[in-house]
Structure 1
Amino acid sequence: MQADVKALLKLPREEAFRQWLGLAGEWVEEPNIRRGGESGVKRVMTTEGKMLYRKQQVGHIYRPWHHPFGYPTAMREQQVLLACADLHVTVPVLVYADCRKVGGVWHALLVTEALDGFSSLEDCYARGDEQRWGEDLHLRILHEVGCTLARFNKGRFEHGCLRMKHVFVRVGEKIEVALIDLEKSRKSFSAVRAARHDIGQMKRHCDWNTAQWQSFLSGFEETFGADYKKI
């Protein structure tokens, strides 16, 4: 069964949750056990031929101050996705998100649109796209990655689990960068602290040479501003 999004969004809350969960799809991330529960992602199609990703969770929680006994991480991701619009950071378009308790256990769904035309840096490097780009374009792409992450961190958000598979790019007449998998993202005490955390993760998980790393940092500093010196 394909998703008729307009119809689904008009349903009462409980029925909407049931029908979103009942949509057939294929696993792109098999359910994994962590945080006392499980979380996985399925790919589903709409009646209009668009691809959606449905994150589904059971008992997969974090403990914010206003929910000391736990709340689904998908709901945290929903809030970060919405906040990114004001930060001018491209993320997957949010289609639907909700949660409910069943037998005292949290169940949650988060549905987003596919990033059409984008590829993760991990996939780009696996295909050898940097050879096709050439070094000049590659450096410009990494500069824009730095700019994008700086905008995110300036909002005091830290990604929390930043890898090449979480940074997506679309290279055409202009270079576009998007961030995904924001369920571990959270507000930090300061923009500098958020930046220090995410830059450190990028450093540990990238294989960029000195010039490439400097291009990333140049874009970050250009966007982050004077406080970059405190990182």
Structure 2
Amino acid sequence: MSERDFDFWWTVEGEWVEEPNRRRSGWSGMMRVRLDGRVFYVKRQLNHRCRTLSHPRGWPTASREWHYLHRLARIGVAAPVPVFHDVRRSSDGHEAVLVTEELLGFVDLAGWTGLEPPRRRRLAQSVGAMLGRLHRAHLQHSSLYDKHVMAREEGDGFAVALIDLEKMRPRLLARRGAARRDLDQLRRRQSLFDDDDWTALLAAHEAQFSRA
């Protein structure tokens, strides 16, 4: 077996960071795996599918995430680097694997407590600008919690990335409504930014969102 082989990633040992979440006849879980000094996140799924307009009969949520990882790379929104993805049928049903590289040095928003106000404001602006690019591209994250927004200090500012794209979807005709729902969800699910920070985040978002 090799790192280009489904069986390798289906059986490689690691530590669960998200224990398999079981629903109906399927499950999905995430494992951290160390190989040759590198860290990978391996999502394994069985019969964990969703229906969309483009896939009315259903497709694995891991396949959906793989698709949007590549889409984000094309529009300049940072996300984990996709390494491997495949789907197969077994006697148990549809098995899927998605492998991504670790986001080195990134910490989720909940981990940035204790920032001085000026640095916190810069982080808010970086988050807003990144989300503005996402929404300008007619995409909605749909699960925008603080733990799904990652940040790393770079010089005087921050690099910001998105993770957990299983519920991402296109919003071709209602991108402002999609943006509002994502932003409202993040506002409710985060405790880092105060009202002034949030105003700065919204201004940075609008500057990117409204670009031609």
Superposition TM-score tier, normalisation by shorter sequence:
over 0.9
Partner Cα separation in structure 2 for residue 189 and residue 104 of structure 1: 36
Q: Does residue 8 of the first structure (1) align with residue 31 of the second (2)?
A: no
Q: What is the DSSP-based 3-state SS (H/G/I as helix, E as strand, rest coil) of the residue aligned with 1:223?
A: helix
> Residue by residue, what CA displacement relative to the aligned partner does 1:7-60 show, whole Å, maximum 9, x if unpaired?
523xxxxxx11111111111000011236521100001122x010000000110
Shift of 1:81: 0.2
Residue number in structure 2 paired with 1:117: 105
Residue number in structure 1 paired with 2:168: 185
Specify the code of the residue in structure 1 equivalent to 2:167: K
> CA 1:225–1:140 in 2, change beyond 3 Å: closer, same or farther?
same
> CA 1:102–1:65 in 2, change beyond 3 Å: closer, same or farther?
farther
The two structures, once aligned, show a CA RMSD in angstroms of 1.8
Specify the code of the residue in structure 1 equivalent to 2:49: I
Residue number in structure 1 paired with 2:72: 84
TM-score, reference length from structure 1: 0.85
Q: What is the DSSP-based 3-state SS (H/G/I as helix, E as strand, rest coil) of the residue aligned with 1:30?
A: strand
Residue number in structure 2 paired with 1:144: 126
Contact 1:35 1:61 in 2 (8 A): no
Q: What is the DSSP-based 3-state SS (H/G/I as helix, E as strand, rest coil) of the residue aligned with 2:65?
A: helix
Residue number in structure 1 paired with 2:149: 167
Partner Cα separation in structure 1 for residue 119 and residue 210 of structure 2: 24
Percent identity between the two aligned chains? 37
Map of 1:53-64 to 2, 5 A cutoff? 53-64=41-52
Contact 1:35 1:62 in 2 (8 A): no
Map of 1:40-59 to 2, 5 A cutoff? 40-47=29-36, 49-59=37-47
Specify the code of the residue in structure 1 equivalent to 2:85: A
Q: Does residue 194 of the first structure (1) align with residue 182 of the second (2)?
A: no
Contact 1:30 1:41 in 2 (8 A): yes
Shift of 1:183: 0.7
Contact 1:32 1:38 in 2 (8 A): yes
Map of 1:22-41 to 2, 5 A cutoff? 22-34=11-23, 36-41=25-30
Shift of 1:213: 0.9
Specify the code of the residue in structure 1 equivalent to 2:79: V
Higher strand share: 2
Deviates more, 1:107-116 or 1:165-174: 165-174
> CA 1:214–1:116 in 2, change beyond 3 Å: closer, same or farther?
same
Q: What is the DSSP-based 3-state SS (H/G/I as helix, E as strand, rest coil) of the residue aligned with 1:8?
A: coil
Shift of 1:188: 1.3
Specify the code of the residue in structure 2 equivalent to 1:164: D
Contact 2:46 2:96 in 1 (8 A): yes
Q: What is the DSSP-based 3-state SS (H/G/I as helix, E as strand, rest coil) of the residue aligned with 1:41?
A: strand
Specify the code of the residue in structure 1 equivalent to 2:186: M
Contact 1:36 1:61 in 2 (8 A): no
Residue number in structure 1 paired with 2:187: 203
Specify the code of the residue in structure 2 equivalent to 1:180: I
Residue number in structure 1 paired with 2:159: 176
Partner Cα separation in structure 2 for residue 180 and residue 77 of structure 1: 9
Q: Which runs of 5+ in 1 are unaligned?
A: 10-15
Higher helix share: 1
